[in-house]
Amino acid sequence: MSKQLQAIRGMHDILPTQIALWQRLEDTVRGVLDSYGYTEIRTPLVEVTELFKRSIGEVTDIVEKEMYSFDDRNGDSLSLRPEGTASCVRAAIEHGLLAQPQRLWYRGAMFRYERPQRGRYRQFHQIGVETFGLADPEIDLELILLTARLWRLLGLNDFRLEINSLGDPDERAAYRTQLVAYLSAHAAQLDADSQRRLTTNPLRVLDSKHPHTQQIVAGAPALMDYLGDDTRRHFERVCHGLDAAGVTYRINPRLVRGLDYYNRTVFEWITDNLGAQGTVCAGGRYDGLVEQLGGKSVPAVGFAMGLERLVELLELAGHVAAPPVDVYLVAVGEAAQQVAPIVAERLRDAVPRLRVLTHCGGGNFKNQFKKADKSGARFALVLGESELEQGLFSLKPLRDEGEQQLLTFEALATFLGEQL
Ligand code: ATP
Ligand code: MG
């Protein structure tokens, strides 16, 4: 017998029992984004590998070891997208969207060949935002306030906000030299990964999770001290805005983010409720990226949130998926069975948004009621021989107290309309 085929390790089906939470999350995010005037953009799941090399950076973990890259039949190297920013920038340049400011958002699957574990998968989903053409710190602030609003609406309040400024490229270069000098003096005590990064990507050493390395890093020079007046003022305006809006935050001078393209403001929303994978949303400014990818010099700032982690938090917070239907239509006998779909249509016409599930497959009352109960519906609507004869409908509450009622169609529709 052949082996049962399974989904790829680290890539998961989202099952019907789980979908309600996903939809609630996605709908809430979408509503918030709408209310801030952001518009959705959809880009392909596959891009030329070059795009990610040039944007994310050759010496980042993502490009070095996490990309799903392959040659297509032409021999062109393509990759499944590991994140959404590069594609948004590519599309914005390609379609001339950068002539005016843009506030865009996207959603969808991302792919990274990481070690699968809680909160870390090989196919995962993000919703992200990218803004273009807006240089002022007030847009950085807007993005953070938008996410703060989202957590409030979702009832997720165990998050903390960390922010930092990475300075502009020349400031960072000056800092980098000092950092490398400091770390090189302690090179022997760094973990192997950090030793390697010392030459390839020294700023990444700052967010090493290795305890020994963290001790060394604690004594390292701080990037904050290398900021010029402009970048410092930019950062202060973001901080003052957060103060004024009553959003609590912590300045974390070690927050550097994994991707190469960030400058100035970076931020992360972190929770302690998910074990090691605590970052649910991360972003920052990336003023140089558009030009780096062949567009004109346009400031940009954005963020992305991990939906799997947010869904898990909603689950942990006890958010229960709403039952998928309101009414289960029980139809016993051939005549009733035949009119049931028509009755259901009339009911959907009469009560917009009412969710009606019709029984399919015959069976006696007992049998059909069992299925009605299992469906999670609040009501069973019964259509049997006697109801058909009288032209009436029996409605039986399945969840709440209450008597079975015998109703005309009009009374039924009015009653159900009031229940929504
Ligand atoms: P991490 O530090 O957790 O690896 P990252 O810095 O690589 O995150 P980003 O590229 O900034 O993450 O992506 C933004 C968000 O997407 C993360 O904060 C996280 O919530 C989510 N995310 C990233 N990688 C994964 C993954 N492999 N599985 C599930 N969610 C992920
Ligand atoms: Mg990562």
Locate 377 and state its tokens. Answer: 């519906």
Report the binding-site residues for L-histidine: 83-85, 112, 126, 130, 257, 261-262
Ligand number nearest to the C-alpha of 111: 1
Phi and psi, residue 355, nearest 5° = -100, 115
Decide if pLDDT at 313 tops 70.
yes
pTM of the model: 0.91
Dihedral of CA atoms 122, 30, 311, 247 in degrees, nearest 10, equals 110
Decide if pLDDT at 101 tops 90.
yes
Q: What is the pLDDT of residue 131?
A: 98
Decide if pLDDT at 257 tops 90.
no
Q: What is the pLDDT of residue 61?
A: 86
pLDDT confidence of 258, banded at 50, 70, 90?
low
Q: What is the pLDDT of residue 2?
A: 82
The architecture in CATH of the region 327-419 reads: 3-Layer(aba) Sandwich (3.40)
- SS3 assignment, position 373: helix
Answer yes or no: is the C-beta of 279 below 6 A from any ligand 1 atom.
yes
Answer yes or no: is the C-beta of 258 below 6 A from any ligand 1 atom.
yes
**Percentage of residues in the chain with pLDDT exceeding 90?**
86
**Percentage of residues in the chain with pLDDT exceeding 70?**
99
Domain boundaries, the chain: 16-167+227-316, 327-419
Q: What is the pLDDT of residue 209?
A: 84
Tens digit of each residue's pLDDT (9 = 90 or more) over 157-180: 999 999 999 999 899 889 999 999
Tens digit of each residue's pLDDT (9 = 90 or more) over 19-56: 999 999 999 999 999 999 999 999 999 999 999 999 99
Rounded to whole angstroms, how far apart are CA atoms 163 and 106? 23
Tens digit of each residue's pLDDT (9 = 90 or more) over 104-142: 999 999 999 999 999 999 999 999 999 999 999 999 999
Tens digit of each residue's pLDDT (9 = 90 or more) over 355-394: 999 999 999 999 999 999 999 999 999 999 999 999 999 9
CA 320 to centroid of chain Cα atoms: 19
In this structure, which residue's CA is closest to atom 12 in ligand 1?
Answer: 282
Gyration radius of the chain over CA positions: 28
Rounded to whole angstroms, how far apart are CA atoms 57 and 272? 30
Q: What is the pLDDT of residue 256?
A: 86
Cα–ligand 1 centroid distance for 282 (angstroms): 8
Q: What is the pLDDT of residue 58?
A: 85
Rounded to whole angstroms, how far apart are CA atoms 333 and 305? 52
Phi and psi, residue 347, nearest 5° = -65, -40
pLDDT confidence of 1, banded at 50, 70, 90?
low
Q: Give, for ligand 1, the residue of 81, 125, 277 to mutate: max count of ligand atoms closer than 8 Å to Cβ.
A: 277
Residues in Cβ contact with 261 at an 8 Å cutoff, skipping those fewer than 6 apart: 55, 56, 57, 85, 286, 288, 289, 292
Give the residue from 196, 175, 209, 188 showing the smallest Cα distance to 279: 209
Element (H, E) at 147: helix 137-154
Q: Give, for ligand 1, the residue of 11, 124, 255 to mutate: max count of ligand atoms closer than 8 Å to Cβ.
A: 124
Q: What is the pLDDT of residue 17?
A: 87
Rounded to whole angstroms, how far apart are CA atoms 44 and 188? 45
Locate 307 and state its tokens. Answer: 């939906």
Q: What is the pLDDT of residue 67?
A: 97
In angstroms, what CA-CA distances link 205 with 182, 191, 268, 278? Answer: 12, 10, 18, 19
In this structure, which residue's CA is closest to atom 22 in ligand 1?
Answer: 306
Decide if pLDDT at 401 tops 90.
no
Rounded to whole angstroms, how far apart are CA atoms 226 and 203? 14
- HEC per residue, 82-97: CCCHHHHHHHHHHCCH
Tell the CATH topology of 16-167+227-316. BirA Bifunctional Protein; domain 2 (3.30.930)
Tell me what the pLDDT averaged over the chain comes to.
94
CB atoms within 10 A of CB 221: 14
Answer yes or no: is the C-beta of 120 below 6 A from any ligand 1 atom.
yes
| Strand 263-271 to 250-251 pairing | unpaired
Give the residue from 157, 134, 155, 110 showing the smallest Cα distance to 38: 134
Q: Give, for ligand 1, the residue of 55, 126, 206 to mutate: max count of ligand atoms closer than 8 Å to Cβ.
A: 126
DSSP state of 353: T
Ligand number nearest to the C-alpha of 282: 1
Locate 395 and state its tokens. Answer: 């409605």
CA 284 to centroid of chain Cα atoms: 16
Q: What is the pLDDT of residue 319?
A: 84
In this structure, which residue's CA is closest to atom 29 in ligand 1?
Answer: 120
Q: How would you list the strands of the sheet with 77-80, edge to edge? A: 46-48, 77-80, 69-71
Tens digit of each residue's pLDDT (9 = 90 or more) over 329-348: 999 999 999 999 999 999 99
Decide if pLDDT at 324 tops 90.
no
Tens digit of each residue's pLDDT (9 = 90 or more) over 279-312: 999 999 999 999 999 999 999 999 999 999 999 9
